[in-house]
Structure 1
Amino acid sequence: MDQFDDIDRALLDGWQREFPLSHQPFQTIGDALKIGESEILSRFTRLLGEGQISRIGATCAPNTVSASTLAAVAAPEDRIEEVADLINEEDGVNHSYLREDLWNIWFVMTGPDRDFVDAALARISERTGLRVLDLRLVRPFNIDLGFKLSGDGQAMPPARKVDHSVLEDGDKPIMSALSSGMTLSPSPYADLAAELGRNEGDVLQRIRILQDAKLISRLGVIVRHRKLGWASNAMVVWDVPADQIGEISPKLAAQKGVTLCYERRPVEDVWPWRLYTMFHAKSRDVALENIENAATLPELTGVTRKVLFSTRCFKQKGALISRTPKTEVPA
């Protein structure tokens, strides 16, 4: 990407995960790159303002301290803008895309609990007059969703088991704030602690514990992949029998170009697919090549698949975990 110099590339490639857990994390990054803290903050502020990153914060394991689901509607061609606007008016919608299929508007609905999600889906159905597919998560196999500026679709690290036993009462506000994004200041964890009325050291300790338990699946720079050149985004669904998903999914999740892999509940009369993968690449041809290569896995012989390329991103922000979230950076 010509608009980035080597320092920008280092910031984006090096801290999409394992963001420093220190009193002055931007100083820690500056020390590693032999650059002053003020320049690091200035560069991240510019990248945020130009839309290359959406925030510096966390992605959290789904359905742990909050609820979420993947949903879709089949919007008539002449109503796509109207329906997308109605969907995105819901605070809990954190991602929404137009995809190449009869079921063409896809979105992730998040909220503090399942009742919140169900109510929001019901409102969308009522306001649009359309059926809403509620495709609930069964098992995640790869939810990293990191993007490197170098290379083209490296295999992502395999998912680790989430340890729910470490959760404490005060963890949800921390995860909610990190999901919305940290302040771009010399001491963002101190800012977070002050906002929550807690001690910075205690907050840092809890974040470490939540990361180790994989309740926080990734802490770092959350990029907007299209702005970084990853313009070809395809959701590929596979018609795999339920009793074979556990064997096939880890192998599929490790394939080049796969950034997400999970099992979801089908909707028998209209949507039979159980196994989902996301492929991201810098061109449609590369994405299709990666999909074809993944399909050569012996376990996928004879398995039917459907490829849904995204053609437009309507909304992208952090998940809604609490009912009074921090102000989000507009998508």
Structure 2
Amino acid sequence: MDRVTLLNRWQHGFPLESRPFARIGAALGVDEAAVIAGFEAARIDGSLSRIGGVWAAGAGGAALLVAMAVPSERLEAVAAQVDALPGVNHNYEREHRFNLWFVITGPDAATLHARLDALERDAGLATLRLPMRKVYRIDLGFDLRGLAGAEPARSERTRHAAPPVASSERALAALVESGVPLLAQPYAAWAEQLGTPEAEVLATIRRWLDRGTLRRFGVVVRHHELGFDRNAMTVFDLPDDEVDARGAALAAQPGVTLCYRRERAEGWPYNLYCMVHGREREAVRATIAAAARAAGIADRPHEVLFSTRRFKQQGGRYFSAAQEVQREHA
């Protein structure tokens, strides 16, 4: 069974039924056990992060993109300090004076700022804090068989604030963001753990998807392990009264997988961001250039920041944040 086919097809629309791996096996012409073994092999080799949910902005807690300008001789040590912070799920070195970039999540903005204040004290370095203001596209479930720019990114289900997860459903949400167990009946295992019927577990996940609380439920891969290791974040400085129209246009371009507006910061004038993932550096540059031309912003101030090293990558943990805060204040 081809690994890429197995991972690619169920990045969106993973079966929400009692025996999901049997359904996948029927579609592939193999048995349930072979499907589970295939996903387990992908988990072991690192190409599969998890099978679970990807939350929309506002579904639970808060998140920040953060950058630091770290002296090269201290980069690994400071990156380790960042990795140790509760809520950090992505941490990369990028080609720029601001060379360390990470995403941190938590129950609320005040908690995130307190953690970052402590990091600044411990590291003796400032942090650039860049809250998201508007999403134009977020979809890392792109076709794994293609090249950067091969086809348009999947359209967004919604650009409005997502209905948040109810407090009574946060225990299930924590399981959803952690990923399904690789068992014949994974939702039944969740139901037993929660003391609730399996049908209610499945109905809640479907409702989250229908309302936009979950962007998608499916396979979440690690792109580096699948050869997508030439990835670049491009940042643009646009007039505030233009950024929404230009952002929507940029998000619609082939090869753009992430596109959003963020607040500017002192020493950082950029307010529009996009990501392109690819296997070859020049192909990624060509995709960025074509997208910027099509969106009418190729002549605007911008910078391209390629990722050069990955220190940490895992799914965002919004719903385990309450326990983390309890530990911090214990």
* Alignment TM class, shorter chain as reference: over 0.9
Residue 113 (structure 2) pairs with residue 118 (structure 1): yes
Distance in 1 (CA, whole Å) between partners of 2:250 and 2:181 is 37
Q: What are the residue-to-residue correspondences of 1:264-283 with 2, within 5 Å?
A: 264-267=262-265, 269-283=266-280
1:240 maps to a residue whose letter is L
Q: Aligned to 1:203, which of 201, 208, 232?
A: 201
| Structure 1 residue ranges, 4+ long, deviating more than 6 angstroms after superposition | none
Residue 258 (structure 2) pairs with residue 260 (structure 1): yes
TM superposition shift of 1:150 = 1.4
Distance in 2 (CA, whole Å) between partners of 1:74 and 1:298 is 30
Residue 137 (structure 2) pairs with residue 145 (structure 1): no
Distance in 2 (CA, whole Å) between partners of 1:79 and 1:165 is 42
TM superposition shift of 1:197 = 2.4
Q: Aligned to 2:282, which of 274, 281, 285?
A: 285
Q: What are the residue-to-residue correspondences of 1:1-331 with 2, within 5 Å?
A: 7-153=2-148, 154-161=151-158, 162=160, 164-165=162-163, 167-267=165-265, 269-297=266-294, 299-321=296-318, 322-323=320-321, 324=323
Query: Could you say what secondary structure the match of 1:281 adopts?
Result: coil
1:307 maps to a residue whose letter is V
Deviations 1:69-106 (A, max 9, x none): 10011100100000000000012000010000010000
Is residue 251–residue 259 contact of structure 2 (8 Å, CA) maintained in 1? yes
Distance in 1 (CA, whole Å) between partners of 2:298 and 2:88 is 36
Query: Could you say what secondary structure the match of 1:32 adopts?
Result: helix
2:42 maps to a residue whose letter is L
Distance in 2 (CA, whole Å) between partners of 1:254 and 1:298 is 9
Distance in 1 (CA, whole Å) between partners of 2:286 and 2:139 is 21
TM superposition shift of 1:165 = 4.5
Distance in 1 (CA, whole Å) between partners of 2:214 and 2:163 is 14
Distance in 1 (CA, whole Å) between partners of 2:139 and 2:295 is 25
Distance in 2 (CA, whole Å) between partners of 1:57 and 1:167 is 16
Is residue 289–residue 298 contact of structure 2 (8 Å, CA) maintained in 1? no
Is residue 239–residue 274 contact of structure 1 (8 Å, CA) maintained in 2? yes
Is residue 166–residue 210 contact of structure 1 (8 Å, CA) maintained in 2? no
Is residue 278–residue 284 contact of structure 2 (8 Å, CA) maintained in 1? yes
Distance in 1 (CA, whole Å) between partners of 2:268 and 2:239 is 14
Is residue 139–residue 257 contact of structure 2 (8 Å, CA) maintained in 1? yes
CA spacing shift, 1:245–1:130, aligned 2, 3 Å: same
Give unpaired runs (5+ residues) of structure 2. Answer: 325-330
TM superposition shift of 1:211 = 0.6
TM superposition shift of 1:196 = 2.3
TM superposition shift of 1:108 = 0.3
Give unpaired runs (5+ residues) of structure 1. Answer: 1-5, 326-331
TM-score after normalising by structure 2: 0.93
TM superposition shift of 1:186 = 0.8
Residues paired across the two proteins, number: 319
TM superposition shift of 1:298 = 5.4
TM superposition shift of 1:287 = 0.2
2:171 maps to a residue whose letter is P
Deviations 1:22-77 (A, max 9, x none): 00111110111111000000010010000011111111012321210100111001
Distance in 2 (CA, whole Å) between partners of 1:287 and 1:298 is 17
Is residue 96–residue 108 contact of structure 1 (8 Å, CA) maintained in 2? yes
Distance in 2 (CA, whole Å) between partners of 1:221 and 1:22 is 15
Is residue 246–residue 295 contact of structure 2 (8 Å, CA) maintained in 1? no
Distance in 1 (CA, whole Å) between partners of 2:239 and 2:116 is 28
